[in-house]
Amino acid sequence: MSKEKKVKKPKGKLGKLEKREARAGYLFIAPWLIGVILFMLYPLAQSFYYMWYNIRITPLGTKFIPVGTGNFTQIWLENPEFPKQIVTYLWQTIVQVPIIVVFALMIAMMLNGKIRFKGFFRLIFFLPVIIVSGPVMNMLVDQEAASIPAMNIQSITAAFGTFLPQSAAESVGEIFSNMIMILWYSGVQILIFLSALQKIDPALYEAAKIDGGSKWECFWKITLPTIKPMILLNAVYSVIFMSSNEQNELINMIQRAMFSGTKEKGYGYASAMAWMYSLVVTLVVLVFFLLLGSKKDVYDRQVKKRKRAMKKEARLVKKIERRGIRNVKKLEKARKKRKYRTYTGESDY
Protein backbone atom coordinates (compact mmCIF):
# COMPACT_ATOMS: atom_id res chain seq x y z
CA MET A 1 0.00 0.00 0.00
CA SER A 2 1.39 3.36 -0.98
CA LYS A 3 1.57 6.07 1.58
CA GLU A 4 -0.97 8.78 1.12
CA LYS A 5 0.65 12.18 0.81
CA LYS A 6 -1.08 15.18 2.28
CA VAL A 7 -1.73 17.74 -0.39
CA LYS A 8 -1.30 21.27 0.86
CA LYS A 9 -3.63 23.82 -0.58
CA PRO A 10 -1.72 26.62 -2.26
CA LYS A 11 -2.24 30.00 -0.74
CA GLY A 12 -3.97 32.02 -3.38
CA LYS A 13 -3.70 35.76 -3.71
CA LEU A 14 -6.57 38.01 -2.72
CA GLY A 15 -8.96 38.92 -5.46
CA LYS A 16 -9.87 42.43 -6.47
CA LEU A 17 -13.05 42.42 -4.38
CA GLU A 18 -11.23 41.14 -1.29
CA LYS A 19 -8.47 43.72 -1.70
CA ARG A 20 -11.04 46.47 -2.02
CA GLU A 21 -12.84 45.28 1.12
CA ALA A 22 -9.53 45.13 2.99
CA ARG A 23 -8.67 48.68 1.95
CA ALA A 24 -12.12 49.85 3.03
CA GLY A 25 -11.63 48.18 6.41
CA TYR A 26 -8.25 49.83 6.95
CA LEU A 27 -9.74 53.15 5.88
CA PHE A 28 -12.53 52.84 8.47
CA ILE A 29 -10.17 52.04 11.36
CA ALA A 30 -7.52 54.57 10.27
CA PRO A 31 -9.05 57.49 12.29
CA TRP A 32 -9.16 55.31 15.39
CA LEU A 33 -5.55 54.15 14.91
CA ILE A 34 -4.34 57.71 14.35
CA GLY A 35 -6.24 58.89 17.43
CA VAL A 36 -4.83 56.10 19.61
CA ILE A 37 -1.27 56.76 18.48
CA LEU A 38 -1.41 60.56 18.73
CA PHE A 39 -3.69 61.05 21.72
CA MET A 40 -3.05 57.97 23.86
CA LEU A 41 0.19 56.07 23.15
CA TYR A 42 2.38 59.13 22.55
CA PRO A 43 1.12 61.04 25.65
CA LEU A 44 1.50 57.90 27.75
CA ALA A 45 5.11 57.43 26.67
CA GLN A 46 5.79 61.14 27.14
CA SER A 47 4.33 61.23 30.67
CA PHE A 48 6.22 58.05 31.58
CA TYR A 49 9.44 59.80 30.53
CA TYR A 50 8.53 63.03 32.32
CA MET A 51 7.86 61.45 35.72
CA TRP A 52 11.56 60.72 36.26
CA TYR A 53 12.56 64.36 35.84
CA ASN A 54 12.01 67.75 37.41
CA ILE A 55 10.96 69.82 34.42
CA ARG A 56 11.49 73.56 34.41
CA ILE A 57 10.45 75.89 31.62
CA THR A 58 12.92 78.74 31.28
CA PRO A 59 13.41 81.49 28.67
CA LEU A 60 16.31 79.45 27.29
CA GLY A 61 14.18 76.34 26.87
CA THR A 62 12.92 73.36 28.84
CA LYS A 63 15.34 71.86 31.35
CA PHE A 64 15.09 68.21 32.41
CA ILE A 65 16.72 67.58 35.79
CA PRO A 66 16.86 63.84 36.65
CA VAL A 67 15.37 63.09 40.07
CA GLY A 68 14.78 59.33 39.85
CA THR A 69 12.01 58.41 42.27
CA GLY A 70 12.11 61.83 43.90
CA ASN A 71 8.71 62.84 42.52
CA PHE A 72 7.07 59.77 44.07
CA THR A 73 8.62 60.27 47.50
CA GLN A 74 7.72 63.96 47.42
CA ILE A 75 4.09 63.15 46.62
CA TRP A 76 3.66 60.63 49.44
CA LEU A 77 5.78 62.36 52.09
CA GLU A 78 5.20 66.06 51.45
CA ASN A 79 1.68 66.12 49.99
CA PRO A 80 -0.79 64.79 52.59
CA GLU A 81 -3.74 65.77 50.40
CA PHE A 82 -3.00 63.14 47.73
CA PRO A 83 -3.29 60.02 49.98
CA LYS A 84 -6.41 61.51 51.57
CA GLN A 85 -8.03 62.04 48.17
CA ILE A 86 -7.06 58.50 47.12
CA VAL A 87 -8.89 57.07 50.16
CA THR A 88 -11.90 59.29 49.45
CA TYR A 89 -11.92 58.19 45.82
CA LEU A 90 -11.86 54.51 46.81
CA TRP A 91 -14.78 54.90 49.24
CA GLN A 92 -16.83 56.86 46.73
CA THR A 93 -16.19 54.37 43.96
CA ILE A 94 -17.10 51.38 46.13
CA VAL A 95 -20.44 52.98 47.04
CA GLN A 96 -21.33 54.94 43.90
CA VAL A 97 -20.71 52.28 41.27
CA PRO A 98 -23.24 49.77 42.71
CA ILE A 99 -25.79 52.61 43.08
CA ILE A 100 -25.37 53.64 39.44
CA VAL A 101 -25.49 50.06 38.12
CA VAL A 102 -28.56 49.07 40.18
CA PHE A 103 -30.41 52.28 39.26
CA ALA A 104 -29.58 51.80 35.56
CA LEU A 105 -30.82 48.19 35.66
CA MET A 106 -34.10 49.19 37.33
CA ILE A 107 -34.79 51.97 34.80
CA ALA A 108 -33.82 49.70 31.88
CA MET A 109 -36.23 46.99 33.04
CA MET A 110 -39.05 49.55 33.33
CA LEU A 111 -38.30 50.98 29.88
CA ASN A 112 -38.20 47.47 28.44
CA GLY A 113 -41.77 46.82 29.58
CA LYS A 114 -44.97 47.53 27.68
CA ILE A 115 -45.41 51.25 28.25
CA ARG A 116 -46.35 54.13 26.04
CA PHE A 117 -43.88 56.74 24.76
CA LYS A 118 -40.84 54.50 25.26
CA GLY A 119 -38.69 56.64 23.01
CA PHE A 120 -39.58 59.80 24.91
CA PHE A 121 -38.64 58.30 28.28
CA ARG A 122 -35.39 56.89 26.89
CA LEU A 123 -34.54 60.36 25.60
CA ILE A 124 -35.21 61.86 29.04
CA PHE A 125 -32.86 59.45 30.79
CA PHE A 126 -30.12 59.83 28.17
CA LEU A 127 -30.41 63.62 27.83
CA PRO A 128 -28.23 64.40 30.92
CA VAL A 129 -25.34 62.51 29.29
CA ILE A 130 -25.39 65.02 26.42
CA ILE A 131 -26.23 68.22 28.28
CA VAL A 132 -24.75 67.79 31.76
CA SER A 133 -21.04 67.68 30.97
CA GLY A 134 -18.05 69.96 31.26
CA PRO A 135 -18.81 73.57 32.24
CA VAL A 136 -22.56 72.86 32.48
CA MET A 137 -21.94 70.27 35.21
CA ASN A 138 -19.68 72.67 37.11
CA MET A 139 -22.33 75.39 36.96
CA LEU A 140 -25.05 73.04 38.21
CA VAL A 141 -22.87 71.80 41.07
CA ASP A 142 -21.99 75.37 42.08
CA GLN A 143 -25.71 76.23 42.19
CA GLU A 144 -26.39 73.06 44.27
CA ALA A 145 -28.66 71.65 41.56
CA ALA A 146 -27.12 68.19 41.98
CA SER A 147 -28.24 67.78 45.61
CA ILE A 148 -31.54 67.21 47.38
CA PRO A 149 -32.42 70.35 49.45
CA ALA A 150 -34.55 68.52 52.00
CA MET A 151 -31.73 66.11 52.90
CA ASN A 152 -29.67 66.92 56.00
CA ILE A 153 -26.18 65.86 54.95
CA GLN A 154 -24.55 66.69 58.28
CA SER A 155 -26.90 64.39 60.18
CA ILE A 156 -26.25 61.57 57.69
CA THR A 157 -22.48 62.04 58.00
CA ALA A 158 -22.70 62.06 61.80
CA ALA A 159 -24.83 58.90 61.78
CA PHE A 160 -22.38 57.01 59.57
CA GLY A 161 -19.47 58.38 61.60
CA THR A 162 -20.63 56.40 64.65
CA PHE A 163 -19.58 53.07 63.09
CA LEU A 164 -17.34 54.08 60.14
CA PRO A 165 -14.02 55.93 59.95
CA GLN A 166 -14.31 59.67 59.50
CA SER A 167 -13.01 59.61 55.93
CA ALA A 168 -15.53 56.91 55.00
CA ALA A 169 -18.37 58.79 56.68
CA GLU A 170 -17.47 61.97 54.80
CA SER A 171 -17.38 60.03 51.52
CA VAL A 172 -20.84 58.57 52.17
CA GLY A 173 -22.17 62.03 53.08
CA GLU A 174 -20.76 63.46 49.87
CA ILE A 175 -22.53 60.70 47.94
CA PHE A 176 -25.88 61.70 49.45
CA SER A 177 -25.15 65.38 48.77
CA ASN A 178 -24.54 64.60 45.07
CA MET A 179 -27.20 61.91 44.68
CA ILE A 180 -28.89 63.55 41.69
CA MET A 181 -25.56 63.99 39.92
CA ILE A 182 -24.74 60.31 40.48
CA LEU A 183 -28.04 59.28 38.91
CA TRP A 184 -27.32 61.60 35.99
CA TYR A 185 -24.29 59.44 35.23
CA SER A 186 -26.43 56.37 34.44
CA GLY A 187 -27.63 57.27 30.92
CA VAL A 188 -25.15 55.14 28.99
CA GLN A 189 -25.56 52.23 31.42
CA ILE A 190 -29.33 52.30 30.91
CA LEU A 191 -28.92 51.95 27.15
CA ILE A 192 -26.45 49.07 27.56
CA PHE A 193 -28.81 47.21 29.90
CA LEU A 194 -31.75 47.95 27.61
CA SER A 195 -29.98 46.45 24.60
CA ALA A 196 -29.09 43.35 26.65
CA LEU A 197 -32.68 42.91 27.90
CA GLN A 198 -34.05 43.13 24.36
CA LYS A 199 -31.79 40.23 23.30
CA ILE A 200 -33.35 37.80 25.80
CA ASP A 201 -35.66 35.29 24.11
CA PRO A 202 -39.27 35.83 25.36
CA ALA A 203 -39.82 32.08 25.06
CA LEU A 204 -37.66 31.61 28.16
CA TYR A 205 -40.06 33.70 30.25
CA GLU A 206 -43.08 31.93 28.75
CA ALA A 207 -41.62 28.51 29.60
CA ALA A 208 -40.82 29.67 33.14
CA LYS A 209 -44.36 30.99 33.65
CA ILE A 210 -45.82 27.69 32.41
CA ASP A 211 -43.71 25.88 35.01
CA GLY A 212 -45.08 28.20 37.70
CA GLY A 213 -42.17 30.63 37.98
CA SER A 214 -42.90 34.06 39.41
CA LYS A 215 -41.49 37.35 38.11
CA TRP A 216 -39.00 37.41 40.96
CA GLU A 217 -37.77 33.92 40.08
CA CYS A 218 -37.61 34.84 36.38
CA PHE A 219 -35.42 37.80 37.26
CA TRP A 220 -32.94 35.74 39.31
CA LYS A 221 -32.95 32.67 37.08
CA ILE A 222 -33.20 34.19 33.58
CA THR A 223 -32.66 37.95 33.46
CA LEU A 224 -29.72 38.35 35.82
CA PRO A 225 -27.59 35.44 34.50
CA THR A 226 -28.20 36.57 30.91
CA ILE A 227 -27.15 40.19 31.44
CA LYS A 228 -24.28 39.40 33.82
CA PRO A 229 -21.59 40.37 31.25
CA MET A 230 -23.32 43.72 30.81
CA ILE A 231 -23.22 44.28 34.58
CA LEU A 232 -19.44 43.93 34.47
CA LEU A 233 -19.25 46.23 31.44
CA ASN A 234 -21.35 48.92 33.14
CA ALA A 235 -19.36 48.66 36.36
CA VAL A 236 -16.06 49.12 34.51
CA TYR A 237 -17.52 51.98 32.45
CA SER A 238 -18.78 53.68 35.62
CA VAL A 239 -15.37 53.36 37.30
CA ILE A 240 -13.56 54.83 34.28
CA PHE A 241 -16.09 57.64 33.87
CA MET A 242 -16.01 58.63 37.54
CA SER A 243 -12.21 58.47 37.59
CA SER A 244 -11.77 60.91 34.72
CA ASN A 245 -14.66 63.38 34.92
CA GLU A 246 -14.32 67.04 35.79
CA GLN A 247 -15.84 66.58 39.28
CA ASN A 248 -13.02 64.32 40.45
CA GLU A 249 -10.79 66.20 42.88
CA LEU A 250 -7.76 64.06 41.97
CA ILE A 251 -7.99 65.14 38.33
CA ASN A 252 -8.14 68.78 39.41
CA MET A 253 -5.20 68.22 41.76
CA ILE A 254 -3.08 66.77 38.95
CA GLN A 255 -4.03 69.68 36.71
CA ARG A 256 -3.08 72.24 39.36
CA ALA A 257 0.27 70.50 39.93
CA MET A 258 0.99 70.47 36.21
CA PHE A 259 0.55 74.22 35.79
CA SER A 260 2.12 75.13 39.12
CA GLY A 261 4.89 77.71 38.96
CA THR A 262 6.89 76.25 41.84
CA LYS A 263 10.24 74.53 41.38
CA GLU A 264 9.15 71.35 43.16
CA LYS A 265 6.09 70.74 41.03
CA GLY A 266 5.47 70.82 37.31
CA TYR A 267 5.07 68.39 34.44
CA GLY A 268 7.25 65.69 36.02
CA TYR A 269 5.52 65.90 39.40
CA ALA A 270 2.06 65.80 37.77
CA SER A 271 3.09 62.87 35.52
CA ALA A 272 4.20 60.83 38.54
CA MET A 273 0.95 61.66 40.30
CA ALA A 274 -1.08 60.68 37.22
CA TRP A 275 0.69 57.32 36.87
CA MET A 276 0.10 56.47 40.54
CA TYR A 277 -3.54 57.43 40.18
CA SER A 278 -3.90 55.32 37.03
CA LEU A 279 -2.44 52.36 38.93
CA VAL A 280 -5.09 52.80 41.65
CA VAL A 281 -7.84 52.97 39.01
CA THR A 282 -6.51 49.81 37.35
CA LEU A 283 -6.59 47.96 40.67
CA VAL A 284 -10.20 49.09 41.25
CA VAL A 285 -11.18 47.82 37.80
CA LEU A 286 -9.49 44.47 38.52
CA VAL A 287 -11.39 44.18 41.82
CA PHE A 288 -14.72 44.71 40.04
CA PHE A 289 -13.68 42.24 37.36
CA LEU A 290 -12.91 39.59 39.97
CA LEU A 291 -16.22 40.23 41.74
CA LEU A 292 -18.46 40.42 38.66
CA GLY A 293 -16.51 38.36 36.14
CA SER A 294 -18.38 35.45 34.62
CA LYS A 295 -17.67 32.21 36.46
CA LYS A 296 -18.26 28.86 34.78
CA ASP A 297 -21.11 26.94 36.34
CA VAL A 298 -21.28 23.21 37.02
CA TYR A 299 -23.03 22.45 33.73
CA ASP A 300 -20.28 24.10 31.67
CA ARG A 301 -17.62 22.18 33.58
CA GLN A 302 -19.46 18.92 32.95
CA VAL A 303 -19.81 19.71 29.25
CA LYS A 304 -16.09 20.48 28.96
CA LYS A 305 -15.22 17.33 30.89
CA ARG A 306 -17.42 15.29 28.54
CA LYS A 307 -15.79 16.89 25.49
CA ARG A 308 -12.32 16.06 26.82
CA ALA A 309 -13.40 12.46 27.42
CA MET A 310 -14.80 12.22 23.88
CA LYS A 311 -11.55 13.61 22.42
CA LYS A 312 -9.55 11.12 24.46
CA GLU A 313 -11.78 8.30 23.26
CA ALA A 314 -11.44 9.47 19.64
CA ARG A 315 -7.62 9.51 19.98
CA LEU A 316 -7.72 5.99 21.41
CA VAL A 317 -9.89 4.77 18.51
CA LYS A 318 -7.48 6.32 15.98
CA LYS A 319 -4.56 4.70 17.78
CA ILE A 320 -6.24 1.30 17.59
CA GLU A 321 -7.04 1.84 13.91
CA ARG A 322 -3.43 2.74 13.12
CA ARG A 323 -2.23 -0.32 15.04
CA GLY A 324 -4.68 -2.50 13.10
CA ILE A 325 -3.44 -1.06 9.81
CA ARG A 326 0.17 -1.81 10.78
CA ASN A 327 -0.74 -5.38 11.73
CA VAL A 328 -2.55 -5.88 8.42
CA LYS A 329 0.51 -4.61 6.55
CA LYS A 330 2.74 -7.00 8.48
CA LEU A 331 0.44 -9.96 7.70
CA GLU A 332 0.33 -9.06 4.01
CA LYS A 333 4.10 -8.75 3.90
CA ALA A 334 4.51 -12.12 5.64
CA ARG A 335 2.00 -13.74 3.28
CA LYS A 336 3.77 -12.38 0.20
CA LYS A 337 7.07 -13.65 1.59
CA ARG A 338 5.66 -17.16 2.09
CA LYS A 339 4.24 -17.18 -1.42
CA TYR A 340 7.59 -16.16 -2.85
CA ARG A 341 9.41 -18.91 -0.94
CA THR A 342 6.84 -21.50 -2.06
CA TYR A 343 7.24 -20.37 -5.66
CA THR A 344 11.06 -20.52 -5.57
CA GLY A 345 11.09 -23.74 -3.54
CA GLU A 346 12.93 -22.27 -0.59
CA SER A 347 12.34 -23.67 2.88
CA ASP A 348 11.80 -21.75 6.11
CA TYR A 349 14.36 -24.02 7.81
**227 shares its domain with 252:** no
> Is 73:244 a contact under the CB 8 Å cutoff?
no
- Using pLDDT thresholds of 50, 70 and 90, give the confidence band for residue 1: very low
pTM across the whole model:
0.70
pLDDT of residue 223: 87
Are 49 and 73 contained in the same domain? Answer: yes
237 assigned to some structural domain: no
pLDDT at 178 over 80: no
Residue 316 has pLDDT above 80, yes or no: yes
Q: How far apart are CA 324 and CA 315, in angstroms?
A: 14
Q: Where are the beta strands (DSSP E) in 59-127?
A: 61-66
Most confident of 27-36, 53-62, 159-168, 203-212: 27-36
* Assigned domain for 188 exists: yes
> In this structure, are 163 and 286 located in the same domain?
no
Is the model more confident about 7 or about 324?
324
Same domain (yes/no): 161, 186: yes
CA distance 44 to 58: 24
Amino acid at 327: N
SS3 146: coil
Nearest by Cα to 94 from 247, 244, 235: 235
Query: pLDDT for 88-147, tens place per residue?
Result: 888 888 888 888 898 889 888 888 877 787 777 777 777 777 776 666 666 766 666 666
Same domain, 198 and 280: no
Q: Is the pLDDT of residue 170 over 80?
A: no
Count of structural domains, the chain: 2
Residue 202 and residue 206: Cα distance in Å, rounded? 6
Q: Which domain holds residue 212?
A: 97-232
Distance CA 107, CA 191 (A): 10
Quote the CA–CA distance of 276 and 86 in Å, as a whole number: 10
User: Do 66 and 116 reside in the same domain of the chain?
Assistant: no
